[in-house]
Every structure is written in C-alpha cells, then in structure tokens.
Amino acid sequence: MDVAVAGAGPAGLFTAVALARRGHRVTVVDRDGGPGADGSWERRGVMQFHHPHGFRPQIGEALDAEMPEMLDALTAAGVEQIRFPGADGQPARAVGLRCRRAVFERVLRAFAVDEPGVALVRGHVDDVAQAGGRATGLIVDGHELAAELVINASGRSARLAAGLRAAAEGGDCGLSYVSRQYILRPGAEPGPMNAPIGIIQTLAGYLVAVFQHDNRTFSALIMRPSDDRRFGALRFPEVFEAAAAAVPALAAWVSPERSRPITPVLPGGRLHNTYRGQLDAGGRVGLPGLLHVGDTVCTTNPAAGRGIAVALRQCVNLLRQLDEHSGDPAAAALAFDEWCTGNVRPWYADHVYWDADLLRRWAGGDVDVTRRLPSDLIMEATEADPSLWRVVGPYQAMDALPATLDEVEPRVRALYARGWRAPAHPGPTRDELAAVVLAAAR
Ligand SMILES: Cc1cc2nc3c(=O)[nH]c(=O)nc-3n(C[C@H](O)[C@H](O)[C@H](O)COP(=O)(O)OP(=O)(O)OC[C@H]3O[C@@H](n4cnc5c(N)ncnc54)[C@H](O)[C@@H]3O)c2cc1C
C-alpha cells in the first residue's frame, strides 16, 4: 500500500519506518529539510526541539518492538540507557534514555533515510486530498501526492485537516519554560539528583529541573506561571545564570567549576494540554483513510516528560489497528479512537486537573482537601508514607493510568487534612527569585 505521512517528527518517522517494515511504500513529507551541511539543525516550527526531553521507558520499549537496532545506534551516539535493578530477580527494566531530543531525532531520521521503503520529501503539506469520500493523498506545495492511506503526524500546532474532526479539548496550560544546555567539564561529576533523569524540585511558586542527556550534556530549566511577566528577562544569559545560581538545585549543576553552557538561553513558547480524537463532531470517522497520531492527538505539559512516550505508544497501537483492520482504515480509525479515549485522554485530563490546581497553589492557595487531590500531591505524599509507592510507582512510570491513584487518594487526602505538607526545598520563593531576575536585568 502507498502511505503518505505528514510530519517527520518522532511520531511520523517511527510510524513510517514501522509501516515500511510491514511491506508498505511510505513517503514522509516535512517542511523541515533535516540537519544542515554544517551539522546544525534549527528545526523551526518545533519550538521544543532544543528544550530538555526526558525519554521514558515506553520510548525504548516502542523502539525495541519495531526497530531494535535504533537502541544500539543511540548508544553509539552517546545516549545512555538508564536501568534500575529488577525486583525479585526479574530482568532489569530500562527506565529511560539520557538523550538530547536533537540526538534522538538525528538517529531516527538516519534510520528513516536508510529504510528501503521510506522516502523523505521536503515540502509544505497544504491539505489532505480526497475523492469519493475517502483520503487519496496529500497536497504538497500545490501538487497531489497520491496514497491509499494518509497519516497526519504534523505535531501540536497542526492545522491540517482541521475541519475533518471535532475541535480539540483544552489549550494553554498557563505555564512556561526557559532552559539552557550545558556540558560537564572534563572530570567533573554530575550534580545532585532525585530522579533517574536528574533533579526535579517544586519550590514556592515555580519548578526547576535538570535533565541529563548524552555525552555529558544536560539542561537546566525553570518553569513558572506564564502570566508572571517579571521572568521575561530570563531569556538573557546573565539573567538566567543569576537565577540558576540562586536556586541550590540548579546552582550545584551550573556552577562554572562543574559545567559550561553550550547554547544560548532557550525561551519556551507556551505549553499546552490538548486532546483531539479521530472522529468528527458527530462521532463519525471524518475521512476514511486519514488517521491522526502523536501530538496531533494529545499534548501534555512537559513537566512530567510524557509527550514522546504517549506519542510512540499511540504509534504502536495505530500499527496494531492497521494490522488488525487491514484494508479497512475506517475501522482502524474507530478502534484507534476508542483506544486513545481510554489510554491517552486520561493523561491529558490528569495534567489539566494537576496544572490548574498547581497554579492555584502557586498563587498562594493551600492544599484543597474538600475535593480530589491532583496527582502531584499524591506523589509527594510518598515522602510521608512510602507504602504509597505500590500504587504511585506504576502511575509515575506510566505503567498504570491516573485513575489507579483513586485507590489511595482518600488516604492521602486524610494525611493532608491532618496538616501534613511536603518539606520545602531550599531556595528562594518566586517573589525572591523575581527580585534576583530584576536585579540581574538592570
Ligand atoms: C517545551 C517542551 C518540552 C517537552 N519535553 C518533553 C519531554 O521531556 N519528554 C517527552 O517525552 N516529551 C516532551 N515534549 C513533547 C514532545 O516534544 C512531543 O510530544 C513530540 O514532539 C511529538 O512528536 P510528533 O512527531 O507528534 O510532533 P512534532 O515533533 O511536532 O513533529 C511534527 C512535524 O510535522 C512537521 N509539520 C507540521 N506541519 C507541517 C506542514 N503543514 N507541512 C509539512 N510539515 C509539517 C513539523 O516540521 C515537524 O517536523 C515536550 C514538548 C515541549 C513543548
């Protein structure tokens, strides 16, 4: 079958290679031409490209299932697979990849280029071609690229075929990122960690994190409410460095003795929580032969680093539906939509609830024990009651859906109602950090 894929991001390329390995001829179209001759890759239109990405185990598992050699290629590129010892003699489970997004995509793109059944084409996808009530290809720079199956993997800002499915739920999550990449100096040890990927700390009114990547690189980031304009100057290197130096968790990593910056400060655009299914407003398949995957279906606040894991899980399920409903893409779309409703939408809903409550608390509100607690508070409560890990661990690892937290939520709420609060991390409040930013910007 001839397949046309709009978008050569992680979802589009993964799906393309996997379909080619099933014997299909796949053309992937992207407006981005790939890395330049000098090796640089700006990747305009994918604003998060140089921002830190945490690569969860689900990503390694998806690669292992469809293109296991890519894990070796990532390792050869300097990517570290982080493994924890398995419990009770079970084999160790990969817990993720320490990797820059740019390195991940370079390796994936090289796989797609080398895959015999995949052709990568540079061009702007204007629209989906249709005839006789089904998708017949893509319109690329005004010309039709004929295909029997069309996959929309054009990312979080996708406007492609917008009229063919119900409007997206959700929108701006109210939080913004600023980050910068560094490299450890020769012989320097990594800084303090509290997570496999590095360190993540919520302070009074903002969040900081360090993501370890490949080849001794790492990113430091600061996340805060988008509407707090006092932090706009963080995009200037001297201001970002002053702010990072003021927060102990970041200061330990970015101190000039330990590391040096290798990029400018990367201001982040706004972050979204959105969900959009396959079907039109009437619950029907909008256009048989057209399927949507990756960020075109779901985006979540990246603070929990779920995006590519959710995207590749979708791809794996989409491939399964196409295998099972071979020759009937409308049936595949219905089955895929049902799976996404049950297995993708809950991650979106989890973040919507969590982010709204986080912003309320960051504005000065206390834990609200009159209603269900958001997931971040349930995770924090493991500090007071480690027995919660039995339920929290699988959720945190994305092996269990957010609803599994319901089992312990009343117990955790009672804990907060008795007055327990997570111990504060050392560091300035958001007002104090804003003062550091304003002073450094003068
Ligand atoms: C700030 C930030 C940080 C993030 N951090 C993490 C993290 O830590 N861990 C994680 O797993 N995820 C993270 N994510 C999410 C992750 O980046 C996305 O889930 C991922 O990019 C989704 O891949 P995709 O292939 O669906 O879309 P994309 O990567 O957006 O790819 C879409 C492609 O389509 C192309 N395209 C779009 N429209 C057209 C058109 N009309 N014509 C031709 N080409 C087109 C684009 O050029 C692009 O190449 C983060 C996101 C953000 C915003």
The domains found in the chain, sorted by start residue, are 2-169+272-347 (3.50.50.60), 174-270 (3.30.70)
Span from the CA of 156 to the centroid of ligand 1 (angstroms) = 6
Q: Atom of ligand 1 at shortest distance to CA of 12? A: 25
Q: Atom of ligand 1 at shortest distance to CA of 8? A: 49
What does the pLDDT average to over 272-278? 96
d(CA 411, CA 218): 37
The protein residue with its alpha carbon nearest to ligand 1, atom 38, reads 154
Q: Atom of ligand 1 at shortest distance to CA of 47? A: 53
pLDDT confidence of 441, banded at 50, 70, 90? Answer: very high
Span from the CA of 10 to the centroid of ligand 1 (angstroms) = 7
The protein residue with its alpha carbon nearest to ligand 1, atom 12, reads 307
d(CA 107, CA 349): 32
Q: Is residue 134 pLDDT above 60, yes or no? A: yes
What does the pLDDT average to over 337-363? 98
Q: From 13, 27, 28, 30, give the residue whose CB has the most ligand 1 atoms within 8 Å, as the site to mutate.
A: 30
The protein residue with its alpha carbon nearest to ligand 1, atom 52, reads 48
Q: Atom of ligand 1 at shortest distance to CA of 299? A: 19
pLDDT at residue 47, as a whole number = 86
Q: Which of 320, 337, 333, 336 is nearest to 289 (CA)?
A: 333
Question: Would you give the end-to-end CA distance of the chain in angstroms?
Answer: 61
Tokens of 218: 């790492």
d(CA 221, CA 200): 10
Which pTM does this prediction carry? Answer: 0.95
B/e letters for 33-60, b = 16+ CB within 10 Å, e = fewer, are ebbeeeeebebeebbbbbbbbbbbbbbb
Residues in the ligand 1 pocket, defined by CB under 6 Å: 6-12, 29-32, 45-46, 48, 51-54, 124-125, 153-156, 158, 160, 177, 268, 271, 294-295, 302, 305-309, 311
pLDDT at residue 93, as a whole number = 64
pLDDT at residue 270, as a whole number = 80
What does the pLDDT average to over 208-227? 97
- Residue-wise pLDDT tens digits, 58-101: 999 999 999 999 999 999 999 998 876 555 555 566 678 999 99
Span from the CA of 239 to the centroid of ligand 1 (angstroms) = 28
Q: Atom of ligand 1 at shortest distance to CA of 293? A: 26
What does the pLDDT average to over 241-249? 98
pLDDT at residue 114, as a whole number = 96
